[in-house]
Chain A
């Protein structure tokens, strides 16, 4: 019951944060002088294409770019009626992409879910690699196991992602027959989901997951190792030894459970780092995530597209922190029952 109340409270604060973030995003995007259409109009005027100017002027009015900034924001959010009445984020209308001359929803479409998929795969990869290696490195600290994992970890941290991507593509294709680039074979694009399509996506996911996840996994592993070492020197571990617990059981039941807290709390940090980190990687690897779209949109001041992508990333981040907060409450009785003691 207490947990549900906390979850509701946390959801509410998340929505408030999202609202604040939307203001910030809108302001930052509008910081550079002019907008996509005024740039275009200037360009058309310079080249003497009058009919284009008329269309651009029409679009400016259509999307209320001629109004004051605060009105533009409220129209974009859908809090006040624009030229087409209430039509903003709240109503599920994500706006128009001038660069691609299509609704934002159509452009990001699939890319949204592929972004979530790629990043979820990377997060899973991070946890699956970091957990066993970090625990092992701590349990066998100052032995070859520790040094080897640390070496591989630092290598992973230090190698630039795009370089790693190119190397993995080359050798993966040469020796394992892994596909290069993209998130699925071209014939499945725009097709409905089928078994073959899923298989194709999974095979294509291998290299990106590895590339995006390596540095995160290396960092996470070292943090887990450090936390574990701290915990291993605590008196309650000695209590466990004096009880007659076997080393494995002792390690997994007590210190690991304690070291898990920062591990879980990291979910919130991990998601945004990966999403923003994967933008460049997606461009290099030719992944159909929203990364490349964001890059184009930012370069050409395609404001509704850019704003939407940024909002989406912010949402992922906030959901990540919320999940980690809720998990922490479930995992750690000290947080849950803190109220009882005061």
Chain B
């Protein structure tokens, strides 16, 4: 039997340059899932887009065929007229994109955008199309399809929007679905649920799927066969169990080594010793009052409530949670960038024996000193460095602001910091655009270090990076922490990343800490349903350990469905209780 899709010798290039996709071949059989795995710049996205010929204007298709068709009749998609390929798009082959936030038009109702596929390809009236769309909405998990039909995208969460995108791609019952990093922008628990949904839909309809991803864990959960790409070339391909079970190519092995994993733990960790906190958040709450204006009524939003955490000197405290859990608010409060509600207390002890400074009641001099001692590393290395400043300027500016040293001394310090983060001091004269994402993140770490801080707040420092680069940055952060005696407050949505670097983890949900313990203890004996869901949702690059979707749906769902012990009553959560030394859980006892 011939495959549904047969890509042969596909090459794509720009201008005179060598091809960025070179002689790529793969097949997809009806009803199967193929995963294309690679890091940014591997050409995986261009490859999948060339199937529907959705390529940037400057891209040239240099060679190859994309044969598509069930049974005997196969056509080469690359040689269809624009009209013919339009009839295929959305009807027989549909596509889901990475960013659900931006892939839907904000000005049109969801129902309008989804039913358009049917009115376009099926010659249906709007009323007929609406019936089909509502059925699909129900299938992808909207509780109230009518309401979803009437909604605008900005009224939905990221996960809901991605479900709407999936509905849009599925409504015409295509033969092939191409999903380009469909879950990368989603929280890990949402990702698990969306992946589960895609798998169910595939089983129901028997369509084939091409899944483009950088995450081997996603591959293990979804794919029948795998193509590993690097720099435009196919490194390795074959059935998923074979490739994942025994990776042959060195590059695949490297990807494996870098994939963050939640380890099997034999015993819980020793409880953390809390005797020398450098930073203490004591019953910190933050309520935002949304201003009434025009016709809007005033209302309140609780970003975080009664948070009690402490960073020990020389250690790392990680705050983990999904978007909207309040973790970033905590970081901003810790740095004094946000004023917490009255009654909250944030204490900073620059030295072990010195008196503590209350961050919200600092004098001007204390504030200046604090701004030297506490620094921040940001999430997006592409936008946190000014493109118009040379590396030297970017690295010496903080010292200049604080009036430290003379010009020469500042430059020496900048060069020294570059060496610390594994870059060459020759690079001082360059502009940020000459650096890769990982190198840029090294630069922002170097910039944070130039003032000799004692506390570093890292806000998702690796989530914009490829897995192999993420691994390097985490190693670097560990080395710097131990080499310079720094303390970290580490914010992340990824429990597996945090597991590597943190000495203690606080899991946040809906603005409160639900569980707090050293990572090994959390993995050994997770108690709270939400922590269990986070651990279960982590895709493991092992075909024999699929995600337990029930566990995820249960813990990440509404707090009302949790067992009585953990249930929230309105906004009143139960107290955080120590259930064993160094392990606190928010539950009724």
Question: In the complex, are the beta carbons of A242 and B89 less than 8 A apart?
Answer: yes
Which residues in A have their C-beta under 8 angstroms from that of B106? Answer: 236, 258, 333-334
Which residues in B have their C-beta under 8 angstroms from that of A239? Answer: 95, 97, 103-105, 113, 165, 168
Those of B72-90 within 8 Å (CB) of chain A? 86-90
Which residues in B have their C-beta under 8 angstroms from that of A241? Answer: 52, 54, 89
Question: In the complex, are the beta carbons of B295 and A244 less than 8 A apart?
Answer: no
- Bound CA span A337–B98, Å: 26
- Bound CA span A238–B88, Å: 15
- Bound CA span A234–B97, Å: 12
Main secondary structure of the interface of A (DSSP, over half): helix
Which residues in A have their C-beta under 8 angstroms from that of B54? Answer: 238, 241-242
Those of B101-145 within 8 Å (CB) of chain A? 102-109, 113, 116-117, 120-121
User: What total of chain A residues lie within 8 Å of the partner, measured CB to CB?
Assistant: 30
Question: In the complex, are the beta carbons of A236 and B296 less than 8 A apart?
Answer: no
Question: In the complex, are the beta carbons of B87 and A5 less than 8 A apart?
Answer: no
Cβ 8 A contact of A6, one of B86, B91, B295: B295
- Bound CA span A254–B91, Å: 20
Which residues in A have their C-beta under 8 angstroms from that of B89? Answer: 241-244
Q: Which of B90, B106, B107, B297 has the most CB of A within 10 A?
A: B107
Question: In the complex, are the beta carbons of B120 and A244 less than 8 A apart?
Answer: yes
Question: In the complex, are the beta carbons of A2 and B295 less than 8 A apart?
Answer: yes
Question: In the complex, are the beta carbons of A235 and B294 less than 8 A apart?
Answer: no
Those of A235-253 within 8 Å (CB) of chain B? 235-236, 238-246, 253
Size bracket, chain B contacts: 35 or more
Task: Name A246's closest neighbour in chain B (CB-CB).
Answer: B86
A230 within 8 A of B: no
Q: Which of A234, A242, A331 has the most CB of B within 10 A?
A: A242
Q: Would you give the 0/1 interface string for A253-292, flagging 1 where the beta carbon is closer than 8 Å to chain B?
A: 1100110000000000000000000000000000000000
Question: In the complex, are the beta carbons of A244 and B107 less than 8 A apart?
Answer: no
Which residues in B have their C-beta under 8 angstroms from that of A258? Answer: 105-107
B94 within 8 A of A: yes
Shortest distance between the CB of A8 and any CB in chain B (Å): 10
Which residues in A have their C-beta under 8 angstroms from that of B273? Answer: none
Question: In the complex, are the beta carbons of B90 and A242 less than 8 A apart?
Answer: yes
Which residues in B have their C-beta under 8 angstroms from that of A236? Answer: 102-106
Question: In the complex, are the beta carbons of A341 and B154 less than 8 A apart?
Answer: yes
Shortest distance between the CB of A335 and any CB in chain B (Å): 10
Task: Name B94's closest neighbour in chain A (CB-CB).
Answer: A242
Task: Name B86's closest neighbour in chain A (CB-CB).
Answer: A244
- Bound CA span A243–B98, Å: 16
Question: In the complex, are the beta carbons of A244 and B299 less than 8 A apart?
Answer: no
A28 within 8 A of B: no
Task: Name B106's closest neighbour in chain A (CB-CB).
Answer: A334
B290 within 8 A of A: yes
Question: In the complex, are the beta carbons of A243 and B120 less than 8 A apart?
Answer: yes
Known interface pairs A334-B154, A342-B299; A243-B105 also in contact (CB < 8 Å): no
B152 within 8 A of A: yes
Which residues in B have their C-beta under 8 angstroms from that of A245? Answer: 86, 116, 120
Which residues in A have their C-beta under 8 angstroms from that of B165? Answer: 239
- Bound CA span A331–B108, Å: 10
B434 within 8 A of A: no
Task: Name A242's closest neighbour in chain B (CB-CB).
Answer: B95
Question: In the complex, are the beta carbons of B102 and A244 less than 8 A apart?
Answer: no
Which residues in B have their C-beta under 8 angstroms from that of A339? Answer: 295-297
A195 within 8 A of B: no
Known interface pairs A9-B295, A342-B290; A337-B152 also in contact (CB < 8 Å): yes
B569 within 8 A of A: no
Shortest distance between the CB of B163 and any CB in chain A (Å): 15
Which residues in A have their C-beta under 8 angstroms from that of B297? Answer: 339
Known interface pairs A2-B295, A337-B155, A338-B296; A244-B91 also in contact (CB < 8 Å): yes
Q: Would you give the 0/1 interface string for A315-342, flagging 1 where the beta carbon is closer than 8 Å to chain B?
A: 0000000000000000111100111111
B471 within 8 A of A: no
Those of A143-191 within 8 Å (CB) of chain B? none
- Bound CA span A253–B105, Å: 10
Shortest distance between the CB of A296 and any CB in chain B (Å): 42
- Bound CA span A244–B77, Å: 14
Question: In the complex, are the beta carbons of B90 and A244 less than 8 A apart?
Answer: yes
Known interface pairs A241-B54, A342-B290; A257-B107 also in contact (CB < 8 Å): yes
Question: In the complex, are the beta carbons of A244 and B121 less than 8 A apart?
Answer: yes
Q: Which of B104, B121, B152 has the most CB of A within 10 A?
A: B152
Question: In the complex, are the beta carbons of B97 and A235 less than 8 A apart?
Answer: yes
Which residues in B have their C-beta under 8 angstroms from that of A6? Answer: 294-295
Question: In the complex, are the beta carbons of A334 and B152 less than 8 A apart?
Answer: yes
Shortest distance between the CB of A315 and any CB in chain B (Å): 22
Question: In the complex, are the beta carbons of B296 and A244 less than 8 A apart?
Answer: no
Task: Name A258's closest neighbour in chain B (CB-CB).
Answer: B107
Cβ 8 A contact of A333, one of B97, B107, B116, B294: B107
Question: In the complex, are the beta carbons of A243 and B102 less than 8 A apart?
Answer: no
Task: Name B113's closest neighbour in chain A (CB-CB).
Answer: A239
Question: In the complex, are the beta carbons of B295 and A340 less than 8 A apart?
Answer: no
Shortest distance between the CB of B98 and any CB in chain A (Å): 8
Cβ 8 A contact of B116, one of A5, A243, A331: A243
Known interface pairs A243-B168, A244-B91, A341-B154; A238-B97 also in contact (CB < 8 Å): yes
- Bound CA span A271–B219, Å: 58
Task: Name B88's closest neighbour in chain A (CB-CB).
Answer: A244
Which residues in B have their C-beta under 8 angstroms from that of A246? Answer: 86
Those of B272-311 within 8 Å (CB) of chain A? 290, 294-297, 299, 301
B6 within 8 A of A: no
Task: Name B114's closest neighbour in chain A (CB-CB).
Answer: A243
Q: Would you give the 0/1 interface string for B319-344, flagging 1 where the beta carbon is closer than 8 Å to chain A?
A: 00000000000000000000000000
B416 within 8 A of A: no
Which residues in A have their C-beta under 8 angstroms from that of B294? Answer: 6, 9
Q: Would you give the 0/1 interface string for B147-158, flagging 1 where the beta carbon is closer than 8 Å to chain A?
A: 000001011000
- Bound CA span A242–B87, Å: 10
Task: Name A8's closest neighbour in chain B (CB-CB).
Answer: B295
Q: Which of A5, A241, A244, A337 has the most CB of B within 10 A?
A: A244
B99 within 8 A of A: yes
Task: Name A241's closest neighbour in chain B (CB-CB).
Answer: B54
Question: In the complex, are the beta carbons of B102 and A234 less than 8 A apart?
Answer: yes
Question: In the complex, are the beta carbons of A243 and B90 less than 8 A apart?
Answer: yes
Q: Which of B102, B155, B295 has the most CB of A within 10 A?
A: B295
Which residues in B have their C-beta under 8 angstroms from that of A2? Answer: 295
Question: In the complex, are the beta carbons of B168 and A342 less than 8 A apart?
Answer: no
Shortest distance between the CB of B88 and any CB in chain A (Å): 7
- Bound CA span A338–B299, Å: 13
- Bound CA span A258–B109, Å: 14
Those of A203-257 within 8 Å (CB) of chain B? 234-236, 238-246, 253-254, 257
A/B interface sample: 24 pairs, CB < 8 A:
A2-B295, A9-B294, A235-B103, A236-B104, A236-B106, A238-B103, A239-B95, A239-B97, A239-B105, A239-B168, A241-B89, A242-B52, A242-B89, A244-B90, A244-B120, A258-B106, A258-B107, A333-B106, A333-B109, A334-B107, A337-B154, A340-B155, A341-B154, A342-B301
Instruction: Name the 3 nearest CB pairs between A and B, nearest first.
Output: A244-B89, A244-B90, A243-B90
- Known: A241-B52, A244-B91, A342-B301; 15 extra A-B contacts, CB below 8 A, are A6-B295, A235-B97, A235-B98, A238-B97, A243-B90, A243-B116, A244-B87, A244-B117, A244-B120, A244-B121, A245-B120, A257-B105, A334-B154, A339-B296, A342-B299
Residues of chain B having any CB pair with chain A under 8 Å: 52, 54, 86-91, 94-95, 97-99, 102-109, 113, 116-117, 120-121, 152, 154-155, 165, 168, 290, 294-297, 299, 301
